[in-house]
Structure 1
Amino acid sequence: MSDRKTLTAAQRRALLATPAGWLACGFGSGLAPLAQGTFGSLAAILPWLWLRHLPLPLNLLVIVIGFAIGVWACDAAGRALRVDDHRSLVWDEFIGQWIALLPVLLAPWWTVVAGFVLFRLFDVWKPWPIRWLDRHLKGGLGVMVDDVVAGVFAAAVLWLFVRLLT
């Protein structure tokens, strides 16, 4: 059985061999040797560069569908790894990062950097209720929900920040 930090070569192959594992590990970004969440959040910006051109309702639909698929994928990958929320499972960072960037869909580039930093801050710091959700919800839903709330917190702060500066 693996701990939350290391993956065996067999576990890495197993993650990349299934659609659920491939998605759950953020298309491989979660397999970075360290700071997997940060690499997942950075990788999430690439598809967001395309998503940001969608109207807000379609953007929200992509996030909701991505969340639902992420619950399934992270649950399946977690069961395969025998670890509920392994740090290599970073699809939750994708969804959280996209939520954090909602207020800046058409804003200047520096707001994307601010959204990235804010999301990582809330995801790592885990203020209440994020820490409570992270500790009490299990399976794919547990993997996903704390990052969604971190994304909402980051989006709220970013929205206020942008409103005050523009």
Structure 2
Amino acid sequence: MTDFYLTPSPASPGPVRPTAKFMMAHPAHFVALGFGSGLSPVAPGTAGTLWAWLSFMVLQRWLAPGDIGWLIAASIPVGWWVCSVTARNMRVLDPGSIVWDEIVAFWAVLWLVMPTGLPGQAIAFALFRYFDAAKPGPVGWADRLSHGADPATDRHAWTIAGFGIMFDDLVAAGCTLLVIAIWRFFA
């Protein structure tokens, strides 16, 4: 078993590009790469969010709302770990192909806005993608929190990176929900 905090040696090659083989090499990679949605060559974050939307619709058929809440709650610390491991193994602090953060955050958005029809879900999707991609205000602040970690000098850099990967998307989800709440209040 490898040390969770093990960092590649300075002589090791540069970043690892994610592939299906890389994804299947470790369970953490499989989850962090969104069961393959993060391998999308175009807009992997959007692909991961679309996967979250589809999977949430399926989960709703099998799980009660409270059970989905527990699944989301459990997915956050698991996400921290899978994102940390996968970022470390890719040798990139915040790889775009890691989409577990989008999946969990958008599940939380949908869980809290449901029941709503397709237009309401589409608005939630668009708002979440805006906050996640543009990173205005608090989302940008949350994103920058972990970018100072240096794996060469800090043995906890990958753990910090995994936290940051998850945290900025949870803040984006919070911003999305705040806008929806304000919209519903004034509608």
TM range (shorter): 0.7 to 0.9
Q: Which amino acid aligns with 2:97?
A: S
Bigger CA drift: 153-162 or 75-84?
A: 153-162
When normalised by structure 1's length, the TM-score is: 0.87
The unaligned stretches of length 5 or more in structure 1 are none
Q: Report the Cα offset of residue 63 of structure 1.
A: 1.1
Q: Percent identity?
A: 35
Q: Report the Cα offset of residue 100 of structure 1.
A: 2.0
The unaligned stretches of length 5 or more in structure 2 are 1-13, 147-159
User: Which structure's residues are more often helix, by fraction?
Assistant: 1
In the alignment, what sits opposite 1:146? 168
Distance 1:142 1:62 in 2: 20
Question: Which residues of 2 match residues 125-164 of structure 1 at below 5 A?
Answer: 125-137=134-146, 138-164=160-186
Displaced runs of 4 or more, over 6 A: none
Q: What SS does the aligned partner of 2:94 have?
A: coil
In the alignment, what sits opposite 1:36? 44
In the alignment, what sits opposite 1:57? 66
Q: Report the Cα offset of residue 164 of structure 1.
A: 4.2
Q: Report the Cα offset of residue 163 of structure 1.
A: 4.6
Q: Report the Cα offset of residue 145 of structure 1.
A: 0.4
Pick from 17, 32, 37: which aligns with 2:25? 17
| Equivalences, count | 159
When normalised by structure 2's length, the TM-score is: 0.78
1:87 aligns with 2:96: yes
Distance 1:51 1:156 in 2: 24
Query: How much is the aligned-residue C-alpha RMSD, in angstroms?
Result: 1.7
* C-alpha distance after superposition, 1:2-51 (max 9, x if no partner): 2xxxx53xx42222321100000000101111211011100111221133
